[in-house]
Structure 1
Amino acid sequence: MYEMVKGGNVELAALSDNVDAVIVSLGWASPTGEGDADVSVLLLGADGKVRSDADFHFYNNPSAADGSVHLLGKQPAGEGSEDRISFDLTAVPAGVERIVIAASRYEGALFSELDDLRVTLSDASGEPLLRFATDDADSVSALIFGELYRRGEGWKFRAVGQGYATGLAGLATDFGVDIEDDAADEPAAPVMPEDDGKPDMKEAKGAATVAEQEPPAPLPAVPSPRQHAENAEPKKVTARPRTAKKKVTLPKAVKKSLAENESWKAARLFPVTALKSDREREMRATSVLLSVMAQVPEFGRRLTAAFGAPAGRMETFTEVSLPHGDTPRRPDGVIRVERGGKLWTALVETKTNGNPLKPDQVQVYVDIAARRGYEAVITLSNDVALEGSPLVDVKIDRRRKHKVALWHLSWAEVAHQAQLLIRHEGVGNSAHAWLLQELLHYLRHDNSGCHGFQNMGAAWVPVRRGIDDETLCQGDPRALEVVESWERLIRHICLGLGGEIGQKVLPVQRARRGSDPGARRARMADQLCREGRLQAELRIEGTPGVLAVAADLRTGKLRASVEIPAPEQGYPLTRAKRLIRRLAEAPADLHVETLVDGGMGGPRGTLERLRPEPGDLLPKNGSQITGFRLSLFKGMGSSRGNTESGFIRSVETLVHRFYDTVVVHLDRSVTRRTAPARQVPTK
């Protein structure tokens, strides 16, 4: 992978032959686990400005109608998180000369508070091509990581690393986007390094030689801030950027049924009652998913963009026969996307229930795809892939010129994306919304076998017994298996909760910069052997603090908790009363603990006891209150699977109950100093 320096530029075609579609990942690490940022993309014309506000893609406008840009969202990385963006460079309009890739922080947060700021670019096969890390972000709230720009018939990438103290508003305004905030008029004038017309790449392994002589054509610098005349009329505020079509979402309230009694069941497009075997479940699930992907472009594009597929006409097939030696092979499905006369093809291998993927079977499909020039093999199961720990270990022949990407998709991720579209973001028409609703109903049915992560594995019971009788020793490989299963469970819960509430929910991974995920899991396994506990943290967008989840295998108890800072204004008793009022709808068994200076725990009690006497939360020695810890407890399930009494169901139930009854009532504005909200661009 080519390491870039600030101001450097490189031709993409010199790094790979497969750059019609690329994925750009912006990453960072947070020492506290709470730091985050939002990515944004600006498509600029020859004048260095957006053609319209629709060329500005951010959290309220994540996709381009032509498929050229698609914000894929965040995913956990070894030392923090990464926000990925898919670009179909063949679909970028001819009038767009540059694509600026940036990120911004909000509520007064700065990039200097984050570590390991980096941008990576991968080709359509998922192969990383280049990386740029910046260590001098300083005290800025918006940062341009890099840009893609045209040079002749191809595209180049420039490493920028320039910041904006005025945040998202200042950055967007300078590129011609109208902003609903006066802060957009504050000065900010970073200058983009100009392209000298010569590539800065000295050497790239396996890359073609870049021409030494390239006609100098410096690109425009970042435009300086707009200067408003003293008597200028105030700008009229218009609506936020929207897609061309009105979005349709399903109503939250269920219509009254016309059935005579509750025993009548509504007719379903995808029936599940006749499924009797695993093979039937795999065939039905594959056909249902692929047909909906082909008929609902928003949904199909959302799933395939993460795999480097272009935006185009999609067709899907099942039970396709492909030659392989003396015995033809039949993958569960095939996805084909056509754009500009070119085909992108992926083979699909599906598993349902707790059935694992078979490495030898997947290896065969990878070999077939390589011989036939297909781009990808997609595995689909209830398991969740972990960074640095592939579900299926296959051999990729690096000697082949054509590369095949191996991707994994969890059924939980499929349900998550469907729920985001029909409940929160909307789709093109009501028929598409209905199809997604039918898909979601099918996936959630007990007989479909597509429930997401549902088994803690064979090591779960022996490890629990070893903890009970104190015979589990550090270094036991079964402890590491349990830790990996726990991490998969947490990611599964994040997908489910994020789909329900329409917010980003990610596991927090507090690790040293550049640390290996395997080493982090090994430390957690040692902790499990010593203390008998599993721990995790979830960061939920728009909520104060992080949601901590702990499973104490010695006592058989689960705990969900959140720490919130105390309000900075008011007397101590006023702060306590304000907190109790905010928790009016919380369960009576909620535990509330006062946090005081020095990190020591203060008074504590259940909400049932504290409601009539909020003063019981005040420290008797007059110590300064720094915050409060809110906790809910639940008994741990006994079985390893996702049954009513199972461990997985118990953790899911506790996290969802804690969010619905406690966290949702905690407003940042109540617990933190007043800070400006995110600056939302408008047309």
Structure 2
Amino acid sequence: MTDVTSAPRELRKGANVAIRDLGGELGGLTVFLDSRGHDGETIDADVSVLLLDASGKVRSSADFVFYNQPIALNGAVHLRDKLVPEPDSDEAAAGWSSDVVTLELDDVPQEIERIVVAASLDASTARTFGDAAGVRLRLQRSSDAADLLVFDIDDATTESALVFGEFYRRDEDWKIRAVGRGYQAGLAALVTEHGVDVSEEADEPEGPEAPAVDETPDEAPAPPGDAEQAPAPPMPAEVDDDTGTSSPATPAKRSVSVRRPTRAPRLPVDWNASIPADDGNDWQAARLFPVAGIGSGEEQERRATSALLAVMSMVREFGAALTGRCGAPRGTITTYIEVPFGQDEEAYRPDGVIQVRRGTREWTALVEVKTSTGRLNVEQIEKYVEIARARGYDAVITISNELAGGDADHPVAVDRRKLRKVSLHHLSWDQIRAEAVLAARHRGVSDATQAKVLEEFIRYMSHARSGMGGLGDMGPSWVKLRDAVKSKTARASDKATGEISARFDELIQHLGHHMTGLLGVEVQSLAPREAPDHASRRQQLADSGLMFGRLKVPGAVDVLVVGADLRADKASAAITIGAPRGDTRPLTRVNWLLRQLPDEAKDSIRIEAHMAGPRAVSTAALLGKARQDPSCLVPEEQREIKAFTISLEVPLGNKRAAGTGTLIGSVKGATTTFYADVVQHLRPWVAKVGSPSRAE
């Protein structure tokens, strides 16, 4: 949770307050729905947002924001990833977890009069909010993460869906009301009451069934104690007997499914398509950002800076995504290149300046850019921090192909004492490219011309001569460490061991950004965060030549484990999935898994079945053999199978750079191929209603 210097206002059930009275900027708000279980257990709640017009109903299914549809109004309402506290924090020990919604109220159209924020529990768990040890709503100002308001809900009992609060217009102003109203019948009952047409059909046409959601609305009284009750929704418009059409007040709505997603996002079908062959002519298409004529590294850097800053100011969705990661408010972006500054009687010229204006507030950051193999310089960065502090600027942003390895927040170790009034942020070209692809091809850009500009910029970034290609090699210590591991002379204390271990962490981040662009969801790299973990990983690399990293894909059945074995010359990718529970036979469980793997999946994929019990017992077979004889994975004495681990190994390249025949290319290829062949097809087991023991 966020520490603040002043206590937030506490709101009681039914009370309301104007956003302006909280000191919050109109629009830039972050809503946290916090929950925790007893004895450190987490409550896995799902947030939803309903955008209501004067009738108290949604205009269409597009006004329903939830896990199957996380964005509305071109990003003005955005359901973010679940926020889990650091493992060693007090919040983690207490079992707190937070669901996050960002609101840009300035961008909400006038016809939307109420924004209802709610949460629900998965119907298959049979849990209610009464099982929670704590449930609350928190409101933050997005610009500086200051807590503005808190509303604790302490009277939940048997409800599986809960309206935490609502934002509503009053006299051209926005207010927030603490609601705390529950629904025993779950999410479907809540959204049906507000005009969402809920589909009774599952999104997935095959595989294990998810429990059906009860759609019977649950009666509950309006929240007490509010002198400004929201108007009661009018009766639906009647159908005209002469024309057979209804009034415009009740537009047709597409049915949506509120079933919780159980399938990982899919790769695009052309994810491994090669570049088309030359058509034979020597005509070159005119490009908005040409690579022709790039000479020196200085010219490459200047072009990259100008192109990036120009696109940030031109394409609002892209610029807001990048500046938002650096703490800027959402507003009008203006950019400059090579702005001269005087400091300590010397002249300095940062590569760029970004200014964001929102109302009377102005946020300013200095920008330092490196391309290709250019490395950031600590003395230069610290000097820019001094310039920013002297002028009252907010931040310094560095951009390069470097990624922060290990547990660092920045590729360069800057004296933290210098950052008391100025924040320091790093954006890698990998991260910038992923944000551009997300905006252009997944989230969408509202203006068609701006969308074309962003596509041109993506094309420019992807060209080898742009210098913006991302992680390019395993570093100068790669050959030395590789040879030492093979000859068994590597030691954990060697400088090269530490450098390559940290570089592999950077490779995992690179993979995360790569998969983010392909899948359209933010794939998180889970690098180790503690010194003992780093030490053990260096020891493992020296002793056995093994390196591992993890990727968390929203919707996937588990974390994806990516590895490299320098002694066996193998790159690998693996994932674990829980087996069906209950009294199902071991062979039935094996067949349940095999049915999920497509015919295109390689026969060389390895399946390991883990048995229940105190001893680590397992069986293993290649997919080709298991398809012919599923019983080869059945344990002796018909022991219970508790989980399966599926893995793929490919030859590991030994070259330092990226591309074919390299470690980076091998690990990247293994990860993407394994995801395409296995991960995106896997679904967790869910017991059928009335038959929890069957897995068919």
Global fold match (TM > 0.5) = yes
Q: Tell me what 1:238 maps to.
A: 253
Q: Tell me what 2:289 maps to.
A: 270
Cα contact 1:44–1:51 (8 A) shared by 2: yes
User: Which segment is superposed worse, 386-395 or 359-368?
Assistant: 386-395
Q: Tell me what 1:353 maps to.
A: 372
Q: How far apart, CA to CA, are the structure 1 residues paired with 2:382 and 2:27? A: 26
Aligned to 2:639, what secondary structure does the other structure show? coil
Is 1:412 the equivalent of 2:430?
A: yes
Q: Tell me what 1:597 maps to.
A: 612
Superposed CA deviations along residues 560-597 of structure 1, whole A, max 9, x for unmatched, are 12223445798655654565453310112111233333
Cα contact 2:196–2:255 (8 A) shared by 1: no
Cα contact 1:132–1:159 (8 A) shared by 2: no
Instruction: Give 1:142-153 correspondences, 5 Å limit.
Output: 142=161
Q: CA deviation at 1:629?
A: 2.5
Choose which of 596, 609, 627 in structure 1 pairs with 2:625.
Answer: 609
2:561 maps to a residue whose letter is A
Q: How far apart, CA to CA, are the structure 1 residues paired with 2:80 and 2:113? A: 23
Superposed CA deviations along residues 623-669 of structure 1, whole A, max 9, x for unmatched, are 3344432211134443555354433332211110111122233345x
- 1:72–1:546 Cα change, 3 Å: closer
Q: CA deviation at 1:411?
A: 1.6
2:676 maps to a residue whose letter is D
Cα contact 2:61–2:253 (8 A) shared by 1: no
Q: Tell me what 1:78 maps to.
A: 86
Choose which of 571, 576, 582 in structure 2 pairs with 1:563.
Answer: 576
Q: How far apart, CA to CA, are the structure 2 residues paired with 1:32 and 1:656? A: 36
Q: Tell me what 1:628 maps to.
A: 644
Q: How far apart, CA to CA, are the structure 1 residues paired with 2:282 and 2:348? A: 44
**Matched residues, number:** 631
Choose which of 368, 392, 396 in structure 1 pairs with 2:387.
Answer: 368
Cα contact 2:609–2:643 (8 A) shared by 1: yes
Q: How far apart, CA to CA, are the structure 1 residues paired with 2:309 and 2:344? A: 28
Instruction: Give 1:237-386 correspondences, 5 Å limit.
Output: 238-239=253-254, 260-261=279-280, 266-340=285-359, 342-385=361-404
Q: CA deviation at 1:22?
A: 4.2
Q: How far apart, CA to CA, are the structure 1 residues paired with 2:227 and 2:407? A: 41
Q: How far apart, CA to CA, are the structure 2 residues paired with 1:643 and 1:47? A: 57
Q: Tell me what 1:231 maps to.
A: none
- 1:659–1:130 Cα change, 3 Å: same
Q: CA deviation at 1:284?
A: 1.4
Is 1:491 the equivalent of 2:536?
A: no
Is 1:540 the equivalent of 2:553?
A: yes
Q: How far apart, CA to CA, are the structure 2 residues paired with 1:435 and 1:88? A: 24
Q: How far apart, CA to CA, are the structure 1 residues paired with 2:470 and 2:381? A: 20
Q: How far apart, CA to CA, are the structure 1 residues paired with 2:329 and 2:643? A: 49
Q: How far apart, CA to CA, are the structure 1 residues paired with 2:315 and 2:490? A: 51
Q: How far apart, CA to CA, are the structure 2 residues paired with 1:140 and 1:55? A: 24
- 1:359–1:638 Cα change, 3 Å: same
1:624 maps to a residue whose letter is E
Any stretches of 5+ residues in structure 2 without a counterpart?
201-211, 237-245, 257-267, 691-696
Q: How far apart, CA to CA, are the structure 2 residues paired with 1:534 and 1:332? A: 37
Instruction: Give 1:665-676 correspondences, 5 Å limit.
Output: 665-668=681-684, 671-674=685-688
2:654 maps to a residue whose letter is S
- 1:597–1:53 Cα change, 3 Å: closer
Q: How far apart, CA to CA, are the structure 1 residues paired with 2:434 and 2:372? A: 18
- 1:448–1:604 Cα change, 3 Å: same
Q: CA deviation at 1:545?
A: 3.4
Is 1:656 the equivalent of 2:656?
A: no
Superposed CA deviations along residues 500-559 of structure 1, whole A, max 9, x for unmatched, are 12244334589xxxxx75566566556666765433333333433332223345544332
Cα contact 2:35–2:42 (8 A) shared by 1: no
Superposed CA deviations along residues 183-214 of structure 1, whole A, max 9, x for unmatched, are 5743557889878xxxxxxxxxxxxxxxxxxx
Cα contact 1:111–1:140 (8 A) shared by 2: yes
User: Which segment is superposed worse, 125-134 or 282-291?
Assistant: 125-134
Cα contact 1:377–1:405 (8 A) shared by 2: yes
Q: How far apart, CA to CA, are the structure 2 residues paired with 1:594 and 1:538? A: 22
- 1:263–1:622 Cα change, 3 Å: farther
Choose which of 216, 229, 233 in structure 2 pairs with 1:186.
Answer: 216
Q: Tell me what 1:448 maps to.
A: 466
1:280 maps to a residue whose letter is E
Cα contact 1:86–1:305 (8 A) shared by 2: no
- 1:141–1:353 Cα change, 3 Å: farther
- 1:637–1:23 Cα change, 3 Å: farther
Superposed CA deviations along residues 74-113 of structure 1, whole A, max 9, x for unmatched, are 6786349976544445556678787554455557356889
- 1:457–1:324 Cα change, 3 Å: same
Cα contact 1:505–1:538 (8 A) shared by 2: yes
2:383 maps to a residue whose letter is V
Cα contact 2:123–2:213 (8 A) shared by 1: no
2:86 maps to a residue whose letter is G
1:662 maps to a residue whose letter is V
Aligned to 2:354, what secondary structure does the other structure show? strand
- 1:448–1:564 Cα change, 3 Å: same
Q: How far apart, CA to CA, are the structure 2 residues paired with 1:649 and 1:297? A: 34
Q: How far apart, CA to CA, are the structure 1 residues paired with 2:607 and 2:366? A: 52
- 1:6–1:642 Cα change, 3 Å: farther
What TM-score, normalized to structure 2? 0.71
Q: Tell me what 2:205 maps to.
A: none
- 1:293–1:223 Cα change, 3 Å: same
Aligned to 1:379, what secondary structure does the other structure show? strand
- 1:284–1:94 Cα change, 3 Å: same
Cα contact 1:191–1:222 (8 A) shared by 2: no
- 1:158–1:467 Cα change, 3 Å: farther
Any stretches of 5+ residues in structure 1 without a counterpart?
196-216, 228-233, 242-249, 511-515, 677-683
Q: CA deviation at 1:238?
A: 1.4
2:280 maps to a residue whose letter is N
Q: CA deviation at 1:68?
A: 4.6
Q: How far apart, CA to CA, are the structure 1 residues paired with 2:217 and 2:681? A: 38
User: Which segment is superposed worse, 600-609 or 3-12?
Assistant: 3-12
Q: CA deviation at 1:11?
A: 9.2
Supply the RMSD in Å over aligned alpha carbons: 5.3
Q: CA deviation at 1:491?
A: 2.8
2:28 maps to a residue whose letter is A
Cα contact 1:123–1:308 (8 A) shared by 2: no
Q: How far apart, CA to CA, are the structure 2 residues paired with 1:114 and 1:357? A: 48
Q: CA deviation at 1:440?
A: 1.5
1:548 maps to a residue whose letter is V
Aligned to 1:369, what secondary structure does the other structure show? helix
- 1:472–1:69 Cα change, 3 Å: same
Q: Tell me what 1:21 maps to.
A: 28
Q: CA deviation at 1:442?
A: 1.7
Q: Tell me what 2:209 maps to.
A: none
- 1:434–1:398 Cα change, 3 Å: closer
Q: Tell me what 1:203 maps to.
A: none
Q: How far apart, CA to CA, are the structure 2 residues paired with 1:222 and 1:486? A: 58
User: Which segment is superposed worse, 377-386 or 152-161?
Assistant: 152-161
Q: How far apart, CA to CA, are the structure 2 residues paired with 1:133 and 1:533? A: 49
- 1:315–1:16 Cα change, 3 Å: same
Q: CA deviation at 1:267?
A: 4.1
Q: How far apart, CA to CA, are the structure 1 residues paired with 2:396 and 2:166? A: 30
Q: How far apart, CA to CA, are the structure 1 residues paired with 2:142 and 2:560? A: 36
